[in-house]
Amino acid sequence: MTHRIPPGRLPSRIGTFRQLEILLMVAECGGIAAAAERLHLSQPSVSMQMRKLSDSIGLPLYEVSGRKLSLTHAGEVLLAHAREIFDCTDRLEMALNQLQGMQAGRLGLAVVSSAEYFIPHLLGPFYRQYPQIEVALHVGNRAELLERIQANSDDMYIFGFPPQDDAMECTPLAANHLVVIAPRSHALAERKRLRWQDVAQEQFILREEGAGTRAAIEHHLAKLGYTLNNKMTIASNEGIKHAVLARMGLAIVPALCLDDGDQEELVQLPVAGFPLEDQWNLVNRSGKVLSVVAQTFRDYLLSDGREMLTDALGYWEQHHRPKLPTR
């Protein structure tokens, strides 16, 4: 079927902002069904809007082969320009927010899933001070956050194992202790000192490929000359803790993902070389101009937020018990 570019000026027929938002989500999710779920729309509604956008452009925007959706060249071109359009609207919103100070605005924050245990406690005091702002918090694994950075989806990002990319600005936020955990019923649970050789043949439960915690663990173990011989994968920190409780194996997790309830049933093993010393990092695209809301939150994170995390980690180092950041 031959498509003809409709007559008339492009802005009058390119479709609505909502249709462009749907295109962005379809591209991010890789399919109509996943995009519909993320947007809280029906699949027929998303398909219809994509069809209307295609008709307004006069060219097909995507192709479906089996279950895989891929953008056509026209779709890729429109996607790139849609991102530019939304960058422009973001700058407009930023300018208007700056006229209103902190009386309005939106904060877009994306964090790796292991940071979800403490980030709400850092957001809390900030939000109580500025309850009129809109907070959009996205939690995902490291691979998802790298995609969101490329799409410029958020104001800032928190990683445990940051991207190795000169186009990113990476600022250390606080120490991230990675500890070995076992069920209290484990044969090694009462030992006061362990070598890596004592646990090397144990089954270890790790996060999925693409997760920052897994990347950090493998990086630090390699530097120590340690290897994991028996591994299984669970794509959730909570799932990993429950698997350890079910005596399926040991795990290496961020200390801050443990709470008092976990402390009753889990034990941190005193393995030589642990805790592994990693960092939580605040990441931005280099040169990104932050809104007054985002800049205020960034300054808060690097002052009060950093102090709260340091206090929580200091408590852990002294008592080997978890403490959530509070203020």
Pairing of strands 230-233, 276-285: unpaired
The pLDDT of residue 164 is 82
What's the whole-number mean pLDDT along residues 199-227? 90
User: For 95, phi and psi rounded to 5 degrees?
Assistant: -65, -40
Mind listing the pLDDT tens digit for each residue in 193-211?
999 999 999 999 999 988 8
Tell me: pLDDT of 324 over 70: no
DSSP code, position 194: B
Q: Taking 70 as the threshold, does the pLDDT of residue 246 lie above it?
A: yes
Task: Write down all domains in the chain, each with its CATH number in brackets.
Answer: 10-84 (1.10.10.10), 100-173+280-319 (3.40.190.10), 175-278 (3.40.190.10)
The answer to whether the beta carbons of residues 185 and 273 sit under 8 Å apart is no
Pair 157, 288: CB distance under 8 Å: no
User: Residue 280 — very low, low, confident or very high, per pLDDT cuts 50/70/90?
Assistant: very high
Strands 168-183 and 266-268: antiparallel
Residue among 117, 271, 309 at smallest CA distance from 179: 271
Considering the chain, what is the average pLDDT of its residues? 85
Which residue, 26, 93, 102, 114, is CA-closest to 64?
26
pLDDT category at 89 given cuts 50, 70, 90 is: confident
